[in-house]
Amino acid sequence: MSSQIDHLLNESRQFPPSPEFVAQTIDDPALYERAAADREGFWGEQARELLHWHKPFTEVLDWTNPPFAKWFGDGELNVAYNCLDRHVEAGIGDRVAIHWEGEPGDSRSITYAELTDEVKRTANVLAGLGVGHGDRVAIYLPMIPEAVISMLAVARLGAIHSVVFGGFSADSLRSRIDDAGAKVVITADGGYRKGKVSALKPAVDQSLADRNGEGEQQTVEHVLVVKRGGNDVDWTEGRDIWWHDVVPAASADHEAQAFPSENPLYILYTSGTTGKPKGILHTSGGYLTQAAYTHKYVFDLHPETDVYWCTADIGWVTGHSYVAYGPLANGATQLMYEGTPETPHPGRWWELIQKYGVTILYTAPTAIRSFMKIGRQVPNEFDLSSLRVLGSVGEPINPEAWMWYREVIGGGKAPIVDTWWQTETGGIMVSPLPGITAAKPGSAQVPLPGISIDVVDEQGKEVESGNGGLLAITKPWPAMLRGVWGDPERFKETYWEKFEEQGFYFAGDGARLDEDGDLWLLGRVDDVMHVSGHRLSTAEIESSLVAHEATAEAAVVGASDETTGQAVVAFVILKESFLAEHTPEGLATQLRGWVGEQIGPIARPRDVYIVGELPKTRSGKIMRRLLRDVAEGREVGDTTTLADTAVMSIISAQVK
Ligand code: WT7
């Protein structure tokens, strides 16, 4: 089967940064030149410039045993020291590290000096519970400062954290605790979501119960519990400890010890195509270098004046690299928000931006599209003029949403950076630099200085410009995953076998290089369709559908078809204002015609189903596999990873 993905949609608008933006930016075209001239030398420079090394490294990269890389291998550092103590020592201890806003409206501002003390106390508590170098600690917390404090305290001890998203069930938590062999779990009684307390402790209790099965072993010795929700909790004496009983009383003296650059920092589980989640392993020096470097240049960070806000939960990699490690390593001031965007009113995010004067906003296309669905009158009520850089991550952002983001949120002037990366890459890989790049709506554009990426065919050969193919990372990078926890074979198989000969990393994404050399992400390769011999991208057709004035959101799948092999089937959510004035049948016909005109007859959907919801994972990714089941009239498969498991029965009913 050919790996070429046919590209049909054209987008030619370009938005260079304004002269005012260019005048103040830290982005420098010389970065590209220096990195191209000496890639490893460039990364060595970044590592020395951005981090403090207790013991300087002499070798940048050891790639003698691929795919197992060592970055800055003989250097030593302490990740938490880099995010905390050194800022205090440099005299910026009074700078706010985290402005935290709880969903009910309570708030805390924590300076670097205070955060450093808290982390030291917590590190002392964890050490007292027996946590040391190499031990695993599971963190199952809401979006409260203690989540970041816990991560840094674990890192400070040279131990390994495994953050589990608070929305995951007891079963998911259990398999992650067991796979990592966690010694301690840090959790809370509950956290605020959608106006009420959502309990967390019962899931921890349940996940730790009944370990009598074959091969099962209870590794957890203690559960440290933050009081946040104020809800009642069951208590296991001897095992459970209240955070407030031990952390404030602990000593704030704790000297950060140096650990080797390749010391494991964290495991983060991500769903694979097959059942068992993969524990993606990241290590210290290379990871922190790339997190700090990308956070600085991709967002044009001015740490003295910027107020940065990444809306991702700490349970995802975006929360690790761009809430915890990148911003703190750079001494940035950031906003952290506990709750949901619509609580207690649909303008909550915009109110927060106004209240804190947020200058950099980093969020996901799924959020932007849900705001589009409600309409611009909501953000228009707030003063968003402080915003100067906007970021997007997690899926392709369709040009329609990109334009809305720029105009309605960015006041028609803030540059947008569409950042492509993965849990596995640890940090941003492809993105415009806002002070340099003329941005194109919908394109992630170019690999960052120091990153090598190609679009290749099934054989690993570069495709001609204008053509689609597979995204491959052709050179090792500092924040790359170092393995799958406990499963080196799976690591090699999943990411390195496909282009073994070339030594490329296979990202699993389809992409296209346009005539200017800009990258367009076309979605996961598993999601492409084959229609009458053409390989079509879900992302392009979805983008076309959403460009229609009636559409709020769209998901496209390929369903088997007798004549065309596969046929395009679209599931579409309409904007509320259009539902009132049109029939679903009329709109479905209009939309089929629209895609046919915009992209070409080959892409015209066979069916357009108007639905009220789309099936999404908790991180907002559309589960096309389930929609394929519906489109092909099958029983709907495993829905356990859906954010809302009821959605599929509603969609099935609507389609019937
Ligand atoms: C997959 C990785 C990266 C942190 C959040 C997601 C898709 C991510 C983009 C983008 C198009 C994107 C890819 C990638 N993706 N960013 N800017 N444009 N697609 O991390 O859960 O590991 O998912 O998300 O398909 O492979 P993740």
Task: State mean pLDDT over 389-411.
Answer: 95
Q: How far is the CA of 420 from the centre of ligand 1 (A)?
A: 6
pLDDT value at residue 3 = 53
Q: How far is the CA of 524 from the centre of ligand 1 (A)?
A: 9
How far is 429 from 471, CA to CA, in rounded Å? 12
Task: State mean pLDDT over 147-159.
Answer: 98
Nearest CA owner, ligand 1 atom 24: 394
Residue 178 gets which letter from DSSP?
H
Identify which of 421, 429, 453 to mutate to test ligand 1's pocket (most ligand atoms within 8 A of the CB): 421
Specify whether the CB–CB gap between 469 and 511 falls below 8 A: yes
Nearest CA owner, ligand 1 atom 12: 395
User: Does 620 score more than 90 pLDDT?
Assistant: no
Atom of ligand 1 nearest to the CA of 507: 26
The two three-digit tokens of residue 486, written as one number:
């406990």
Nearest CA owner, ligand 1 atom 23: 422
Number of separate domains in the chain: 1
Query: Among the listed ranges 145-154, 224-233, 319-328, 580-589, which one has the minimum average pLDDT value?
Result: 580-589
β-bridge pairing 453-456 and 468-473:
antiparallel
Q: How confident is the model at residue 102 (pLDDT cuts 50, 70, 90)?
A: very high
Tell me: the pLDDT tens digits for 438-477?
Answer: 999 999 999 999 999 999 999 999 999 888 899 999 999 9
Q: How far is the CA of 557 from the centre of ligand 1 (A)?
A: 18
**What burial letters (b/e) apply to 519-544, b meaning 16+ CB within 10 Å?**
bbbbbbbebbbbbeebbbbbbbbbbb
How far is 487 from 348, CA to CA, in rounded Å? 43
Q: How far is the CA of 473 from the centre of ligand 1 (A)?
A: 14
Query: Among the listed ranges 60-64, 77-81, 192-196, 613-617, which one has the minimum average pLDDT value?
Result: 613-617
- What range defines the domain where residue 545 resides? 528-655
Q: How confident is the model at residue 273 (pLDDT cuts 50, 70, 90)?
A: very low
Nearest CA owner, ligand 1 atom 19: 395
Specify whether the CB–CB gap between 112 and 92 falls below 8 A: yes
Helix (H) or strand (E) holding 161: strand 160-163
Q: How confident is the model at residue 601 (pLDDT cuts 50, 70, 90)?
A: confident
Specify whether the CB–CB gap between 328 and 83 falls below 8 A: yes
Nearest CA owner, ligand 1 atom 1: 422
3-state DSSP assignment of residue 530: strand
Task: State mean pLDDT over 110-135.
Answer: 98
Q: How confident is the model at residue 274 (pLDDT cuts 50, 70, 90)?
A: very low
Q: Is 547 within the bounds of a domain?
A: yes
> Which domain CATH number covers 545?
3.30.300.30
**Which residue type is seen at 622?**
I
Task: State mean pLDDT over 496-521.
Answer: 94
Q: How far is the CA of 395 from the centre of ligand 1 (A)?
A: 5
- Distance between terminal CA atoms of the chain? 33
Q: Which residues approach ligand 1 with their CB closer than 6 A? A: 270, 317-318, 393-396, 418-423, 444, 507-509, 521, 524, 619
User: Does 6 score more than 80 pLDDT?
Assistant: no
Nearest CA owner, ligand 1 atom 18: 396
The two three-digit tokens of residue 462, written as one number:
């570069």
3-state DSSP assignment of residue 146: helix
Bridge partners of 335?
A: 99, 309
pLDDT value at residue 40 = 98
Q: How far is the CA of 66 from the centre of ligand 1 (A)?
A: 24
Per-residue CA distances from 416 to 360, 368, 399, 441 (Å)? 10, 13, 11, 9
How far is 643 from 621, CA to CA, in rounded Å? 10
pLDDT value at residue 116 = 98
How far is 79 from 54, CA to CA, in rounded Å? 11
Q: Is 73 within the bounds of a domain?
A: no
Q: How far is the CA of 568 from the centre of ligand 1 (A)?
A: 23
Sign of the torsion angle spanned by Cα atoms 406, 409, 410, 416: negative
Residue 322 gets which letter from DSSP?
I
The two three-digit tokens of residue 161, written as one number:
């954290």
Q: How far is the CA of 340 from the centre of ligand 1 (A)?
A: 21
Mean pLDDT is highest, among 402-406, 546-550, 556-560, 602-606, for: 402-406
3-state DSSP assignment of residue 60: coil
Atom of ligand 1 nearest to the CA of 392: 17
Q: Is 457 within the bounds of a domain?
A: no
Specify whether the CB–CB gap between 464 and 55 falls below 8 A: no
3-state DSSP assignment of residue 496: coil
More confident call, 91 vs 581: 91
Q: How far is the CA of 425 from the centre of ligand 1 (A)?
A: 10
Quote the longest CA-to-CA distance of the chain: 72
The two three-digit tokens of residue 602, written as one number:
């080959």
Q: How far is the CA of 142 from the centre of ligand 1 (A)?
A: 23
Specify whether the CB–CB gap between 282 and 333 falls below 8 A: no
Q: Is 588 within the bounds of a domain?
A: yes
Query: Among the listed ranges 107-121, 156-170, 350-364, 642-656, which one has the minimum average pLDDT value?
Result: 642-656
More confident call, 216 vs 49: 49
User: Does 272 score more than 60 pLDDT?
Assistant: no
Nearest to 294 by CA among 390, 474, 437, 427: 427
How far is 338 from 502, CA to CA, in rounded Å? 45
Q: Is the pTM of this model over 0.85?
A: yes
Q: How far is the CA of 393 from the centre of ligand 1 (A)?
A: 6
Nearest CA owner, ligand 1 atom 14: 422
Walk across the sheet containing 222-226 and list its strands. 240-242, 222-226, 184-188, 136-140, 160-163, 264-270, 278-283, 483-484
Q: Is 296 within the bounds of a domain?
A: no
Task: Tell me what the pLDDT averaged over the chain comes to.
Answer: 94
618 CB contacts (<8 Å, ≥6 apart)? 165, 167, 168, 641, 643
β-bridge pairing 107-111 and 505-513:
unpaired
**For a pLDDT cut of 70, what percent of the chain falls above it?**
98
Specify whether the CB–CB gap between 636 and 626 falls below 8 A: yes
Atom of ligand 1 nearest to the CA of 431: 17
How far is 116 from 85, CA to CA, in rounded Å? 6
Task: State mean pLDDT over 38-56.
Answer: 98
Q: Is 552 within the bounds of a domain?
A: yes
User: Does 190 score more than 60 pLDDT?
Assistant: yes
Q: Is 534 within the bounds of a domain?
A: yes
How far is 296 from 257, CA to CA, in rounded Å? 26
Residue 636 gets which letter from DSSP?
P
Identify which of 294, 521, 543 to mutate to test ligand 1's pocket (most ligand atoms within 8 A of the CB): 521
Identify which of 270, 420, 425, 429 to mutate to test ligand 1's pocket (most ligand atoms within 8 A of the CB): 420
Q: Is 548 within the bounds of a domain?
A: yes
SS3 content of the chain, % helix, strand, coil (to 5): 30, 25, 45
Query: Among the listed ranges 335-349, 385-399, 530-544, which one has the minimum average pLDDT value?
Result: 530-544
β-bridge pairing 96-101 and 107-111:
antiparallel
Q: How far is the CA of 394 from the centre of ligand 1 (A)?
A: 4
154 CB contacts (<8 Å, ≥6 apart)? 126, 131, 137, 139, 160, 161
User: Does 214 score more than 60 pLDDT?
Assistant: yes
On the 0-12 / 13-18 / 19+ scale of CB atoms within 10 A, 380 is exposed
**Which residue type is seen at 484?**
V
Bridge partners of 430?
A: 420, 447
User: Does 1 score more than 50 pLDDT?
Assistant: no
Nearest CA owner, ligand 1 atom 10: 420
Residue 481 gets which letter from DSSP?
-
How far is 294 from 299, CA to CA, in rounded Å? 8
Residue 450 CB coordination number (10 Å): 24
User: Does 525 score more than 90 pLDDT?
Assistant: no
Q: How far is the CA of 421 from the centre of ligand 1 (A)?
A: 5
222 CB contacts (<8 Å, ≥6 apart)? 129, 183, 184, 185, 239, 240, 241
Q: How far is the CA of 259 from the centre of ligand 1 (A)?
A: 31
Atom of ligand 1 nearest to the CA of 421: 3
Task: State mean pLDDT over 285-313.
Answer: 98
Tell me: the pLDDT tens digits for 633-645?
Answer: 988 888 877 888 8
**Which residue type is seen at 607?**
D
More confident call, 306 vs 8: 306
pLDDT value at residue 275 = 52
Task: State mean pLDDT over 51-61.
Answer: 98
Report DSSP letters for 438-453, one per residue. -B-TT--BSBPTT--E
3-state DSSP assignment of residue 333: strand
Whether omega before 344 lies within 30 degrees of 0, making that bond cis, reads yes
Identify which of 270, 294, 395 to mutate to test ligand 1's pocket (most ligand atoms within 8 A of the CB): 395
Task: State mean pLDDT over 117-141.
Answer: 98
Q: How many residues can be counted in the chain?
A: 656
